[in-house]
Amino acid sequence: MCTVCGCSKGNVKIEGRAPGGVKFPYRPHHAHAHDHDHDHDRHHHVHAHPAPAIPAEQAAEHQPTLSQQAGGAALHYGQGAAHAHAPGLSQARMVKIEQDILSKNDGYAAQNRQWLRDRGIFALNLVSSPGSGKTSLLAETIRQLGRDTLVYVVEGDQQTSNDAERIRAAGAPAIQINTGKGCHLDAHMVGQALEQLNPADDSLLLIENVGNLVCPAAFDLGEAHKVAILSVTEGEDKPLKYPDMFAAADVMLLTKIDLLRHLDFDVDVCIANARRINPKIKVLQLSSKSGDGMDLWIDWLLLEMNDAQLVKQREVARLRQQIAALEQRLQERS
Amino acid sequence: MHEMSLAEGIVQLLEDQAKAQDFSRVRQVWLSIGELAGVEAEALAFCLDVVSRDTLADGARFHFVRQPGTGWCLACSQSVAIHARFDACPLCGKHQVQVTAGDEMRVSELEVE
């Protein structure tokens, strides 16, 4: 288990799916598939020469050379630590891969993003601490958008489907993902949830992440924007305490502003702190209880949904033009 | 943060590479971790130790190469060194610094057989 945040593998449940049908994280628990031939001599060699123990200072020496090797070939025989062996006798080789650790997640996120773009769906990934009022804000947003706007919600929580039930009561289809021991949603979970939820074209998709200002920052789900929600009961220095999240977010919603008169919360300081982390962050202040500022939030959502729909329409028009051009060529032949 | 997921991702990446580049054991791994990536190297090392058991990377040595944080100061219009996301520009003292490097997490090199 992770010593920092306590997250662990397994236990993910998506509503409507048989438990155990999908394994999370997606890395299979068995070792890699053996689809290549094994050379038995090589195997023997592996056992005869256990991995060389490199003294720490030698390993440290090796480090600065890494970046200098950047332009080199993919395979380096006998470089780096392999010097410990007699050159030519060792089966060990160096492989330069330069792959992003999150590339697997980013790949799934790119698929989700394309899937959403093709359907003109505007998707937001809502992140905050637990108890900032995400679910209340979502329920109020759904009510204010009314029946004319199709809204779908993906709810992420460690356990229970309480939030999804609250959203359904507000009138929107919702699906709950329980991450079990996990501390964040990842793009693969969201992709599975999308299949299940099957949102309509031109709709709004709101993904409520697990209440956690640390881990969800690093995981792209395929959304258009991350929206960080900060309630005025939390303290104006939160953007400084959790900078990664506020750096990853494009929008910050300052919620529960109806409580400001009871608190010492300094709105200007809070916004200045957020801009210290992220000079481009867009800030909206609102209260889902009193309704203050909700109109600006709703207007922004409708505007962005409109843009997403336009992107889809342009793509459809472009494809139609291509078809027309091909039909023309076909007619000219016959 | 989320070092367990990252460790899982690293081992899966190694397994994918093993298929693509035809190797069966990983002895050493060099990870390039930015100063601003929000990753605790010690926690990641611990998770890697757990996650790599009974995989092709069982017993492998993981080396962490720290990449320095760099930002672009909008006020000074130049690249500056920073050590945290909320650092002020060391030249002008303003907070209009956007991170340009040092937030990456990569597997850069492997020793395999």
pTM above 0.90? no
- A98: in domain: no
pLDDT in tens, A148-197: 899 999 999 888 889 999 999 999 999 999 988 778 899 999 999 999 99
Into how many domains does chain A fold? Answer: 1
Average pLDDT over residues A94-123: 91
Full residue range of the structural domain in which residue A302 is found: 104-312
Q: Report the percentage of chain B scoring pLDDT > 90.
A: 50
- A31 pLDDT more than 70: no
Q: Could you tell me the two tokens for B113?
A: 């057989």
Q: What pLDDT, on the 0 to 100 scale, is given for residue A193?
A: 94
- A171: in domain: yes
Sign of CA dihedral B33, B37, B43, B49: negative
Asked if A253 and A228 touch (Cβ cutoff 8 Å), the reply is yes
Q: What pLDDT, on the 0 to 100 scale, is given for residue A16?
A: 73
Domain boundaries, chain B: 3-68+102-112
Q: What pLDDT, on the 0 to 100 scale, is given for residue A329?
A: 95
Q: Give me the CATH code for the B3-68+102-112 domain, please.
A: 3.30.2320.50
Nearest CB to B1 within list A5, A63, A97: A5
Q: Which of residues A183 and B81 earns the better pLDDT score?
A: B81
Q: What pLDDT, on the 0 to 100 scale, is given for residue A142?
A: 95
Sign of CA dihedral A277, B89, B84, B98: positive
- A10: in domain: no
Provide the annotated binding site of B for Zn(2+).
73, 76, 89, 92
Q: Which of residues A233 and B94 earns the better pLDDT score?
A: A233
Instruction: Give the best residue of B86, B92, B97 to mutate against chain A (max A CB count within 10 A).
Output: B86
For chain A, state the CA radius of gyration.
25
The CATH number covering residue A158 comes to 3.40.50.300
Closest CA to B14 of B1, B39, B31, B33: B31
- A334: in domain: no
pLDDT in tens, B89-100: 999 988 888 889
One-letter amino acid of A34 = H
Which residue on chain B is closest to A243 by alpha carbon?
B85
- A56: in domain: no
Looking up tokens 């598939």 gives A33
**Of the ranges A53-57, A272-276, B2-6, which one carries the lowest mean pLDDT score?**
A53-57
- Say if A3 is an interface residue toward chain B (CB within 8 Å): yes
